[in-house]
């Protein structure tokens, strides 16, 4: 029974390039959440998606960031034209039900470094 999978685990990009981060939720989970963790800071909510729908994107920067969770395949967090300030660890979490707080499982994260 695989947990949340994220890939790549480490991603290096130069300024101006695109970064695509993938998250495969626990099998059977239809709710996905993305969080960002800057050095020495706690996790900050970015976006909450349910299959094919964005439910809450209040934590997403208005420009360059987008997220999707298609009917088939993993959830994707896409960052266009990356800048050094985008360097962070990006975690996704999944749950089977909305607001089921005891079963929001986190993945191992993708560490993005922007040169």
Interface with another protein (CB under 8 A), residue total 27
Q: Which one among 40, 71, 72, 85 touches another protein, defined by CB under 8 A?
A: 40
32 binding another protein? (CB under 8 A): no
Distances (CA, A) of 92 to 8, 12, 17: 12, 19, 22
65 binding another protein? (CB under 8 A): no
Which of the ranges 11-19, 68-76, 77-85, 98-106 carries the binding residues for another protein, by CB under 8 A?
Answer: 98-106
Q: What is the DSSP string of 43-78?
A: EEEEEEEETTEEEE-TTS-SSSEEEE--SSS-EEEE
């Amino acid at each position: 029974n695989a947990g949340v999978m994220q890939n790549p685990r480490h991603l290096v990009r130069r300024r101006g390039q695109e970064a695509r981060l993938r998250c495969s939720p626990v099998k059977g989970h239809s709710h996905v959440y993305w969080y960002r963790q800057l050095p020495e800071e706690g996790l900050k909510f970015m976006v909450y998606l349910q299959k094919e729908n964005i439910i809450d994107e209040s934590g997403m920067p208005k420009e360059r960031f987008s997220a999707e969770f298609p009917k088939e395949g993993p959830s994707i967090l896409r960052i266009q034209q990356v800048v050094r300030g985008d360097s962070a660890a990006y975690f996704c979490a999944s749950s089977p039900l909305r607001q089921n707080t005891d079963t929001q499982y986190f993945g191992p994260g993708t560490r993005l470094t922007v040169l």
